[in-house]
Amino acid sequence: MSYAAPLADIRFALEACAGFWSVREGGRFPDLDEDLLSAILEGAAALSNDTLAPLNRVGDQVGVTLKEDVVTTPPGFREAYQAVRDGGWQGIAFDPAYGGQGLPRSLMVSVLEMINGANMSFGLLPLLTLGAIEAIDLHGAPDQKALYLEKLISGEWTGTMNLTEPQAGSDLGAMTTKAVPRPDGSYVISGQKIFITWGEHDLAPNIIHLVLARIEGAPAGSKGISLFIVPKFRDEDGSRNAVRCIGLEEKMGIHASPTCTMAYEGATGWLIGGENKGLAAMFTMMNAARLNIGLQGAAVAEAACQKAYAFARERKQGGALIIEHPDVKRMLVTMRAKIQAARAICYATAVAADKGQHAREALLTPIAKAWSTDLGVEAASLGVQVHGGMGFIEETGAAQYYRDARIAPIYEGTNGIQAIDLYGRKILGDRGEEMRRLIAETVDAAKHAHGKIGQRLKEGAAALEEATAYMLAASRPDALAGATEYLALAGDVVGGMLLASGLKRALALPAMTKSLLVEQEALLGYYAETVLARAAGRLPAIKIGAAALG
Amino acid sequence: MSYAAPLADIRFALEACAGFWSVREGGRFPDLDEDLLSAILEGAAALSNDTLAPLNRVGDQVGVTLKEDVVTTPPGFREAYQAVRDGGWQGIAFDPAYGGQGLPRSLMVSVLEMINGANMSFGLLPLLTLGAIEAIDLHGAPDQKALYLEKLISGEWTGTMNLTEPQAGSDLGAMTTKAVPRPDGSYVISGQKIFITWGEHDLAPNIIHLVLARIEGAPAGSKGISLFIVPKFRDEDGSRNAVRCIGLEEKMGIHASPTCTMAYEGATGWLIGGENKGLAAMFTMMNAARLNIGLQGAAVAEAACQKAYAFARERKQGGALIIEHPDVKRMLVTMRAKIQAARAICYATAVAADKGQHAREALLTPIAKAWSTDLGVEAASLGVQVHGGMGFIEETGAAQYYRDARIAPIYEGTNGIQAIDLYGRKILGDRGEEMRRLIAETVDAAKHAHGKIGQRLKEGAAALEEATAYMLAASRPDALAGATEYLALAGDVVGGMLLASGLKRALALPAMTKSLLVEQEALLGYYAETVLARAAGRLPAIKIGAAALG
C-alpha cells in the first residue's frame, strides 16, 4: 500500500471549507474553471501516487551521501525531479511572464500537499525553491529577475534559504557571515551556515542560494543583516562559486533530504532587497514558507492515516479485522477528522493570500503552521499505534512517518515561535480585530450547524473570545506563558468553523456528492465532541501566567 | 549530560504520594527502615547513572547483531549486566529462600524506574526475567522452583516470555505452536514465536523461555493453551535445546534490545501450571509486567526531560538562555508535572500489590501502563522540541528517547487493550466499587488542597464519577468506544489525587524538606490548571458512542 492522493477530501477542504472559487472575484484568474482545477489536481495526484510515493521508503533507507563536495540523492530521485520539471509543477502559481502558470496559490498549496504526502523529503526541494522564487520576485532588481526567475520557475535550477549559523539557532541577530563589497557591485561572502535543506544535490545543474549576511560595518544585531543571492555556478561565465557543502546532518527522519552545512569561502554574492534590509526580505517570504510547512504536517498525517487504514483493513485479530475494533476505529477517525481541519486551515490561509486578505493570511499563518505540524506528529504516532507491534518495525513504514513528521514543528520557526508571532504580531498588531472576525464567523457557522455541532461551535467561539480578550489585556510575560495553548485553542475552533462552513458551502457546489457530505458531517460531528468539546478546557492553561511556569 | 536518577522526586512519589511506609503495616518487612531504603535507592542510582546510562547511546548506534544463532550485544553490556548480577538487583523483591532480598515490590519498582531511565533497552532484560521468575514462583512445581528460581533471582540466568506468533498478534487464541507429550513427562515443542524480547543474547550462560503452546488434542481457541518452560540449555545434562533465534527485527528504537524470532524445532519443554491453564498463568503475571512497562514510560519521560533541561540551561538564544523563554519553561514544567503524576500512579499500584490490595492493584494497573507510556511518548516529543533543530539530529540523543518511547504504548498489551481491560475486567468486574473509592479519596484530597487545586480536584472527581456511571450503564459497544478516553480521564484525576495526597502525607515525613514541598506543590498547581482543568472536557468523547466512530 502506497500513498493515494485523497482528492475528494482535498476538494471538499479547498472548494467548500476554504471557499476556493471566491479567488475569482473581481475577475481574477479568468481561465480558472472546474475543468482546469480537475486537470491540475488529477495530474498532481498521478505524479504523487505513481512517481513520488514509490520512492519514499528507498529514500529513507538509502538516504543522501556526501563525497568530495558532491551530494548524491537516492535512486530514482533524478527521474522524479525530472517529472516535476516536465510537468511544470514548480511554476503553478507564478508569473506567466517568467514561464509560470499564474494560477492561485491555494491551488499550488493543494498540489504541495500531495507531493509532500507522497514523499516529504523530496517535497522539501520544490518548497525551498518556492522560497527563493518569492524572494527574487518580491525583492530582486529587474536584472536579477531576468537572470534567475525563469530557470527557477521552470525547475531547471533549485533554490535554498540560508539563515541559521552554528552559534545562532533561531536568533538571526547573532549571525556573523560577512559580506565585503567589491568595486563591481558584487560582494565577497564568507561564513558558515547550518541546517540548509537541499543545500547541495545532484538533481539540478545549478543551485541558487539566498544567504543572510552582514555587510562590513553594518549595525549590530538584526538591523545589520542583508540578503544576498549566491549561485553555485556564477552566471556571467558559468564558473564554480566558492560555496560548498562540507557536511550532512545525521537526522532522525527525512533522510532523503540533504541537510547541509554550507561553507562560503569568499563566494561571490549579489545584494537583493537593499542594504540591511535582509530580515525584512526574509519576513515577507516567511508567511508563505510557514504555510507550506503547515501543509507538510497535514500531508504526513494523511499519509500515516492512509497506511493505518490499509493495515487495519487487512489485519485480523481475534477472528475480526482490526478495523472492527472500536479503539482502532477511534484512532482512525481521530486522524481523519483532524487532518480535514488542518487541511481546511491551511487552504483557507492560501485563499486569503490569493484574495489579498493580508490580515487574515497573517493571522492564520502561525495557526496553520503550528496546529497542522503538531497534528502531523500526533497522527503519525496514532498510525504507529494502529499497527501494533508491526508499527515499531521499520519495514512497515509507519515508523518513517513518525520520524519524518517530527521535524515539522521545529523548522521554519518552531511552533513556540509561531505562538509568539500569533500573539505579538498578529493579535496585538490589530488589537484582535481579525480574530474577532473569525469568532463571528464561528458564531454564524454555529447557527447553521446541526444540533450538538452548533452547540460545540458556540462554546468554542465563546472560549476563543474570552481567551483573546485575556491575551489583549495580559502583561506580555503572562500572555507569552499562555501563547502556545492560545494558538491550540484558535486552531481547534477555526478548524471546526471551517469544516462547518464547508458543509454549508458545499450545498451550492455541484461536484460535492451527497455521500461525501454525509461523511464530512460525520467527521465534523466527531471533531465537535472530541476537539471542540475540550477547547474551553484550555482557558486555565492560557491564563496560567508567567509565575506558574517557575 | 547523562541521566541522573531523580532521587528527590522518586522519594516524594514513593513515600509521600504512594504511601510507601504503609507496606510495613501488620508487621511485614520488619527489616525495612529509612537507612535500608536510602541505601537501596542510592545504590540503584549509582548503577544507573554510572554504569547503565553511559551505554545508552552506544547501544542505540551499535545495536545487536545475529550471526549463526548467536546474538551479540553492544560493547559494555556484558560488564553492565555483571554489575546488575553482582549488586543482586534482580532479586530485590523475591523470596529469600531462593536468594532474594524479600523487599517490597514498590521498592523494586523504583529501582526499575532508574534502570530503565538510564537505559531502556538494557532495562528490558531484568524486566523479562522478572516475568519468568513470577511465572515459576506462582505456577511452578517444587522441582521446577528448585531448578530455576535461584539462578534467575541471582541473575545468573535470564528469562523470556513467548506469546506472539507471526499470524496471531495480540490474539493468543489463534496460536499454533505445538506441544507433544513424551513418556518421560516432558513435551516436544514446535513452532515459531515473534517479538521475543531478549530471546537470545550473550550476557548469560542460559536463557529460560516461558512458552505458550497448544498440547496435541487440546480445545481450540484460548482454552487450549498451556505454558511450558523451555531452557536454552537442558538442565539434566547441559545439552543445547532445539530452540534458536532465527531473526532480529529492525526496529525504530530500543536498538540494544534484541527482538527475536524464536524457532522451536522439537525443543524439549516442561509443562508449568497445568494443562490448558496457560492463559491463566500468563494473566497472573500480566499485572506485574504491565506495571513495569508503565514505569518504562515514566522512566523514558524522565530521561528526556533531564536532557531537555540540560540543553535549555546551556543553550543561548537572543542573548538569553533558552530556559528563560516562557514556552520552553512551559514544555519543561509540563514534562515534570506529568512525570511526577505517572510515577505516583505506578508506585501506588506497586504499594497496593505489596499490601495485598488486589482490587486496587488490578484497577490501577491498566491506568499505570497506558497513561504513563502515553506520557513517555509525549514527553520525549516535547524533549525533542525543546532542543529545536538539534533535537532532530541523532547525535544530540533527544531523538533516541522519542524513538525508544514509542514501543511502550504497544507492547505488553497495547494501550487500547489496557482501556478494554479497565472497562471490561476492572470497572464491570466490581461494578465500579474500587473506582468509587479512588473518587472518594480525590474528593477528600480536594478538601485539604489549596485554593484552585482543590477546585480542580473536585471537578475532576465529579467528571470521573459521571464517566464511571456512564461506563457501567452503557452498552458494551458504546462503552468500548469511550474506553481509551475514560482511561485517560482516570489517569488525569488519580494522578492529581496522588500528588495532592503526597503533599499532605509529606508533612509527616521527616526526610521531606520544605523546599521540596514548595516545588512539588508548584508542580501540582500547574498540573491542576493544565491537566485537571481539561479532564471534564473528556466526557463528550467518553460518551460518544459506537455509532459515531463510523
Q: Looking at residue B233, what DSSP letter applies?
A: B
**Among chain B residues, CA nearest to A254:** B392
- Long-range contacts at B144-151 (CB < 8 A, ≥ 24 apart): B144/B229, B144/B270, B144/B272, B145/B98, B147/B235, B148/B208, B148/B229, B148/B231, B149/B94, B149/B95, B149/B98, B150/B98, B150/B99, B151/B206
Tell me what pLDDT residue B420 has.
98
Torsion B21-B499-B495-B398 (CA) sign:
negative
Residues of A with catalytic annotation? 412
> Average pLDDT in the B67-96 region?
97
* Inter-residue contact B332 to B408 (CB < 8 Å): no
Tell me what pLDDT residue B166 has.
87
The residue ranges of DSSP E strands in A61-219, in sequence order, are: 65-67, 70-72, 158-162, 178-181, 187-197, 207-215
The residue ranges of DSSP E strands in B477-530, in sequence order, are: none
A45 vs A302: CA distance, rounded Å: 14
**Among chain A residues, CA nearest to B420:** A327
Angle CA B472–A457–B546, to nearest 5? 30
* Inter-residue contact B256 to B197 (CB < 8 Å): no
Contacts of B403 in chain A (CB under 8 A): 252, 403
pLDDT in tens, chain A (550 residues): 589 999 999 999 999 999 999 999 999 999 999 999 999 999 999 999 999 999 999 999 999 999 999 999 999 999 999 999 999 999 999 999 999 999 999 999 999 999 999 999 999 999 999 999 999 999 999 999 999 999 999 999 999 999 999 876 667 778 899 999 999 999 999 999 999 999 999 999 999 999 999 999 999 888 999 999 999 999 778 899 999 999 999 999 999 999 999 999 999 999 999 999 998 888 877 888 999 999 999 999 999 999 999 999 998 877 789 999 999 999 999 999 999 999 999 999 999 999 999 999 999 999 999 999 999 999 999 999 999 999 999 999 999 999 999 999 999 999 999 999 999 999 999 999 999 999 999 999 999 998 899 999 999 999 999 999 999 999 999 999 999 999 999 999 999 999 999 999 999 998 899 999 999 999 999 999 999 999 999 999 999 999 999 8
Shortest distance, CA A91 to any CA of chain B (angstroms): 30
Q: Which of B124, B252, B315, B328 to mutate to test the interface with A (most CBs of A within 10 A)?
A: B252
Contacts of A456 in chain B (CB under 8 A): 540
Closest CA to B326 of A472, A169, A549, A168: A549
**Among chain A residues, CA nearest to B550:** A329
CB contact under 8 A, B250 and A394: yes
A180 vs B509: CA distance, rounded Å: 67
The alpha-helical segments, DSSP class H, found in A355-450 are 358-386, 398-405, 415-421, 433-448
Unique residue bearing C-alpha cell 529587474 = A142
Residue of A171, A392, A477 lying closest to B326 (CB–CB): A477
Contacts of B522 in chain A (CB under 8 A): 548, 550
Shortest distance, CA A234 to any CA of chain B (angstroms): 31
Q: Assess: ipTM above 0.95.
A: yes
Q: Which of B120, B254, B323, B327 to mutate to test the interface with A (most CBs of A within 10 A)?
A: B327
Q: Which of B124, B171, B175, B406 to mutate to test the interface with A (most CBs of A within 10 A)?
A: B406
What cell numbers appear for A97 in the block?
511572464
Bridge-based pairing state of the strands B259-272 and B187-197:
antiparallel
Bridge-based pairing state of the strands B187-197 and B226-231:
unpaired
Q: Which of B330, B475, B489 to mutate to test the interface with A (most CBs of A within 10 A)?
A: B330
Tell me what pLDDT residue B513 has.
94
CB contact under 8 A, A326 and B549: yes
Closest CA to A460 of A399, A526, A541, A528: A528
* Inter-residue contact A152 to A129 (CB < 8 Å): yes
B230 vs B159: CA distance, rounded Å: 10
Share of chain B above pLDDT 90, in %: 92
Shortest distance, CA A452 to any CA of chain B (angstroms): 10
A188 vs B534: CA distance, rounded Å: 56
Closest CA to A542 of A440, A449, A471: A471
Residue at A510: amino acid letter? P
> Average pLDDT in the B324-338 region?
97
Tell me what pLDDT residue A1 has.
53
* Inter-residue contact A161 to A192 (CB < 8 Å): no
**Among chain B residues, CA nearest to A543:** B529
| pLDDT tens digits for range B84-130 | 999 999 999 999 999 999 999 999 999 999 999 999 999 999 999 99
**Among chain A residues, CA nearest to B329:** A549
Contacts of B412 in chain A (CB under 8 A): none
Dihedral in degrees, nearest 10, Cα atoms B514, B519, B520, B522: 130
Shortest distance, CA A124 to any CA of chain B (angstroms): 16
Under the banding of pLDDT at 50, 70 and 90, the label for residue B476 is very high
Tell me what pLDDT residue A169 has.
63
* Inter-residue contact B125 to B81 (CB < 8 Å): yes
Contacts of A525 in chain B (CB under 8 A): 548
Shortest distance, CA B195 to any CA of chain A (angstroms): 8
Is B412 catalytic? The answer is yes
- Does B170 have pLDDT greater than 70? no
CB contact under 8 A, A538 and B534: yes
* Inter-residue contact B168 to B174 (CB < 8 Å): yes
Residue in B134, B361, B412, B465 annotated catalytic: B412
What cell numbers appear for A126 in the block?
520544490
CB contact under 8 A, A391 and B410: yes
What cell numbers appear for A127 in the block?
518548497
CB contact under 8 A, A550 and B522: yes
**Angstrom distances, CA of residue A101 to CA of A18, A113, A295, A336, A543:** 21, 18, 21, 32, 47
What count of other Cβ atoms lies within 10 Å of the Cβ of residue A546?
Answer: 18
Residue of B388, B541, B546 lying closest to A414 (CB–CB): B388
First to last CA, chain B: 48
Tell me what pLDDT residue A55 has.
98
Unique residue bearing C-alpha cell 559494555 = B76
Under the banding of pLDDT at 50, 70 and 90, the label for residue B237 is confident
CB contact under 8 A, A534 and B539: no
Shortest distance, CA A100 to any CA of chain B (angstroms): 33
Contacts of B415 in chain A (CB under 8 A): 385
CB contact under 8 A, B414 and A385: yes
Contacts of A403 in chain B (CB under 8 A): 252, 403
Tell me what pLDDT residue A491 has.
98
CB contact under 8 A, A526 and B548: yes
> Average pLDDT in the B51-65 region?
98
CB contact under 8 A, A537 and B537: yes
Contacts of A411 in chain B (CB under 8 A): 389
Burial status of residue A219 (CB atoms within 10 A of its CB: 0-12, 13-18, 19 or more): exposed
A183 vs A199: CA distance, rounded Å: 28
> Where does residue A404 fall: left (phi above 0), alpha (psi -120 to 50 degrees), or beta otherwise?
alpha
Residue of A251, A331, A481 lying closest to B393 (CB–CB): A251
Tell me what pLDDT residue A549 has.
95
Q: Looking at residue B74, what DSSP letter applies?
A: P
| pLDDT tens digits for range B136-162 | 999 999 999 999 999 999 999 999 999
* Inter-residue contact B292 to B234 (CB < 8 Å): no
* Inter-residue contact A273 to A227 (CB < 8 Å): yes
A478 vs A225: CA distance, rounded Å: 31
Residue B433, strand partner residues: none
* Inter-residue contact B163 to B197 (CB < 8 Å): no
* Inter-residue contact B389 to A164 (CB < 8 Å): yes
* Inter-residue contact B336 to B326 (CB < 8 Å): no
| pLDDT tens digits for range A36-68 | 999 999 999 999 999 999 999 999 999 999 999
What cell numbers appear for A183 in the block?
568595486
- Higher per-residue confidence, B443 vs A172: B443
- Please spell the DSSP secondary structure of A27-80, one letter per residue: G-STT--HHHHHHHHHHHHHIIIIIIGGGHHHHHHH--EEETTEEEPPTTHHHH
- Please spell the DSSP secondary structure of A288-318, one letter per residue: HHHHHHHHHHHHHHHHHHHHHHHHHHH-EET
Shortest distance, CA A327 to any CA of chain B (angstroms): 6
